[in-house]
Amino acid sequence: MDILERTRITPLKAGFGAQVGGVDLPKADQAQVKAVVDAFHHHGAILLRDQSMTPDDLLSFIRHFGEPEGHTLQEFTLPGYPNIFILSNKIVGGKPIGAHNDGVGWHTDYSYKAEPVMCTMLYAVEVPPEGSDTLLADCCAAWDALSPDRKAAIAGLKLHHSYAHFMRNREWGAMELSPELAAENPDVIHPLVRTHPADGRKALWVSTGTVDEVIGLPNPEGLELIDELVAWVTQEQFVYRHKWCVGDVLMWDNRCTLHTGTLYDDTKYDRLMHRLWVKGDRPF
């Protein structure tokens, strides 16, 4: 059987994302892994269901995409695994084991860094039977759908991103940065329209949370433009809604997507995800 027969690729939604079937990740051969990595770089997101991955399996697999990135808040990493971050509402021994509701609100990961993470992987260990979906927006389709005039008007804009601004204003766990975190996370400027290095496709790379200014466009107009563009990118026609099952591996390409978590009834249900990041390049 050739690689195409063994590895079934179907879109997550028309024109976006790829569900890859027929692959058992810890046992995958080189050709299968290459097909999975290629699908990732060209489709914006990939999903593999029914996986059974130890922390070491997750780390070996993610290395096919690049070098794992460390996490900003080390207190929520898996003991012994600084590159595996825990998203959870669970409390063990009186202490939260992970970050809860961390990704609620449209954003792209690590956008407050000069080299934001290229890829985010979530592996579902425990999922609520309802709620907690993860939504991915296709920033390339959103860019392509703009009129030529609108594209020309916004093409050269640059955004100011600030971790301090994000942490001060977020809905859950708002805080002022410690002097150490502030020193590790200076503000950065990124283009609004980002080019994908795999094939040159353009993405409308807007975000909420870390963006506090459009360079050269004073507030409130700057932030009004951001709100308008985020509303454009996150229209239903550009969004894939992922409903979680235990064993799902979902990976998205932060160079061309926005994502958000959603709430769930955390008084009734537990959620536990392992998150891994892959280092990225400076956006252009």
Ligand X SMILES: O=C(O)CCC(=O)C(=O)O
| Residues that bind ligand X in the complex, under the rule CB under 6 A | 87, 102-103, 109, 120, 134, 259, 261, 275
Q: Counting contacts by CB under 5 A, is residue 103 touching Fe ion?
A: yes
Dihedral of the CA atoms 100, 103, 160, 213 (nearest 10)? -90
261 binds, among Fe ion, ligand X, none (CB under 5 to 8 A by kind): ligand X
Select from 85-93, 103-111, 130-138, 152-160 the region that touches Fe ion (CB under 5 A).
103-111
Q: Confirm if 32 and 7 have CB atoms less than 8 A apart.
A: yes
108 binds, among ligand X, Fe ion, none (CB under 5 to 8 A by kind): none
242 binds, among ligand X, Fe ion, none (CB under 5 to 8 A by kind): none
Q: How far apart are alpha carbons 109 and 207 in whole angstroms?
A: 10
7 binds, among Fe ion, ligand X, none (CB under 5 to 8 A by kind): none
Least distance from C-beta 134 to ligand X, angstroms? 4
Least distance from C-beta 126 to ligand X, angstroms? 12
Kind plus residue range of the DSSP H or E element containing 124: strand 119-126
Residues sharing a CB contact under 8 Å with residue 79, sequence separation 6 or more, in sequence order: none
* Angle at CA of residue 257, ends 199 and 211, nearest 5°: 120
- Nearest residue relative to ligand X (C-beta): 103
Select from 5-13, 107-115, 127-135, 275-283 the region that touches Fe ion (CB under 5 A).
107-115
Least distance from C-beta 6 to ligand X, angstroms? 30
Half-sphere exposure of 54 (CA within 13 A, CB side): 6
**Which one among 69, 109, 212, 253 touches Fe ion, defined by CB under 5 A?**
109
Least distance from C-beta 25 to ligand X, angstroms? 19
Q: How far apart are alpha carbons 190 and 13 in whole angstroms?
A: 28
Residues sharing a CB contact under 8 Å with residue 143, sequence separation 6 or more, in sequence order: 151, 193, 202, 203, 204
Structure tokens at 237: 């026609």
Least distance from C-beta 31 to Fe ion, angstroms? 31
Least distance from C-beta 26 to Fe ion, angstroms? 25
Tokens 């080299």 — which residue? Answer: 115
Nearer to ligand X, 122 or 157 (CB): 122
Residues of this chain that interact with Fe ion (CB under 5 A) are 103, 109
